[in-house]
Amino acid sequence: MANQTIINFLTLPVELVYRILDYESDFTLICSMTNTLTALDLSRNQIGDVGAQSLAVALQHNTTLITLNLRTNRIGNVGAQYLGDALQHNTTLTTLELWINQIRDVGAQYLADALQHNTTLTTLDLEWNKIEDVGAQYLAGALQHNTALNTLELSNNQIGYVGAQSLTIALQQNTTLTTLVLWTNEIGHVGTHYFSNALKYNTTLTTLNLAPNQIGDVGAQYLADALQYNTTLTTLELWSNQIGDVGAQYLAHALQHNTTLITLNLAENQIGDAGAQYLADALQHNTTLTTLGLRFNKIKYIGAQSLADALQHNTTLMTLHFVGNSIEKDAMHLIDELFERNQR
């Protein structure tokens, strides 16, 4: 009879499964996860620390689950501790999503401790928690030893420039992390300076997202300097960062020398016609950039015409996001025609 219960349990919708979990023993939960289940989505269920404890017990015995989504579940430091303990024993989970929970620096420490022992987790999503610079320091310490994690998402926390410094120290030693997402973390131009130094030495990071971090023209200058040395970064997200024409000039100069960046997103900044002209000049020399984001800047006809002139010579740019600027139809029509040519 017990076996029949488990088989039926596996075929139920997730919402009903969750209700059943309130009344099932940890043993039943373990058994339900040890057959063929590879992905489990329990997002938005308010399981809290107690539910995280039950799942953690299961994870220590499970050998098939690859992806676990626990988004929006009111999991705090205690729940993070349980999950951290489980990660030190689990050898199959590759993706753990914990965004929009209540994990603070202490919880980050528990997860960081786990990362120093875990050899299979490749993606850890901690967006929209309450992690500050101390928590970032713990995670950075783990990255200096971990050899499996390739994606770390820390957006909408409060790590600041001090937390950024800790992470950049780790980046100079880590050889596996390829994606780091840090949008809205109050990093500022000081934190960007730390990233600039790290990018000159790091040879594995391919995607860096520093959007809404108030880096300004000074931060753009630091990153532009790094781009002249870095040979691995392919995607740089800098939207909504108070970057103006001066910052665009620094980045444009870097694009004339960089040969690896494929995507540069500068949307929702303060780039005008002068900045667009600097970028246009760079496009006449750059042969690797395929996507340029300039949505909702302050570019008008002259800037659009400069970009159109650049596209007469550039044959590699495939996508230009331009919505939200004051561009006349004839300039946009010419740009669209040139893109059609590049895409052939």
pLDDT, residue 2, reads 40
- Please name the residues in contact with 341: beta carbons below 8 A apart, sequence gap of 6 or more: 315
- Please name the residues in contact with 223: beta carbons below 8 A apart, sequence gap of 6 or more: 192, 195, 196, 199, 210, 215, 236, 238, 251, 254
What CA–CA distance (Å, rounded) separates 49 from 321?
A: 43
CB 297, CB 271: distance < 8 Å:
yes
Q: Which 3 state secondary structure label does DSSP give 10?
A: helix
What CA–CA distance (Å, rounded) separates 208 from 61?
A: 35
CB 243, CB 277: distance < 8 Å:
no
What CA–CA distance (Å, rounded) separates 239 from 256?
A: 21
Whole-number Cα distances in Å, 344 to 63, 184, 208, 317, 336: 47, 38, 30, 12, 13
Q: Does domain 187-344 have CATH number 3.80.10.10?
A: yes
- Alpha-carbon Rg for the chain, nearest whole angstrom, is 23
pLDDT, residue 22, reads 57
pLDDT, residue 14, reads 56
Q: Which 3 state secondary structure label does DSSP give 5?
A: helix
Whole-number Cα distances in Å, 163 to 175, 227, 235: 20, 22, 22
**Residues facing residue 292 across a β-bridge:** 264, 320
Q: What is the pLDDT of residues 177-204, one digit of tens each?
A: 999 999 999 999 999 999 999 999 999 9
Q: Which 3 state secondary structure label does DSSP give 95?
A: strand
Q: In one letter, which amino acid is 62? A: N
What tokens does 335 get?
A: 């740009």
What CA–CA distance (Å, rounded) separates 213 from 195?
A: 13
What tokens does 205 get?
A: 């990071």
- Tell me phi and psi for residue 186, to 5 degrees: 55, 40
What CA–CA distance (Å, rounded) separates 276 from 182?
A: 26
The structural domains of the chain, with segments of one domain joined by +, span: 1-140, 187-344
pLDDT, residue 5, reads 34
What CA–CA distance (Å, rounded) separates 245 from 273?
A: 8
Q: In one letter, which amino acid is 90? A: N
Whole-number Cα distances in Å, 97 to 93, 107, 126, 127, 308: 11, 14, 7, 9, 42
pLDDT, residue 340, reads 72
**What's the CATH number for 1-140?**
3.80.10.10
- Equal fold, 1-140 vs 187-344: yes
Q: Which residues of the chain have pLDDT under 50?
A: 1-12, 16, 26-27, 31
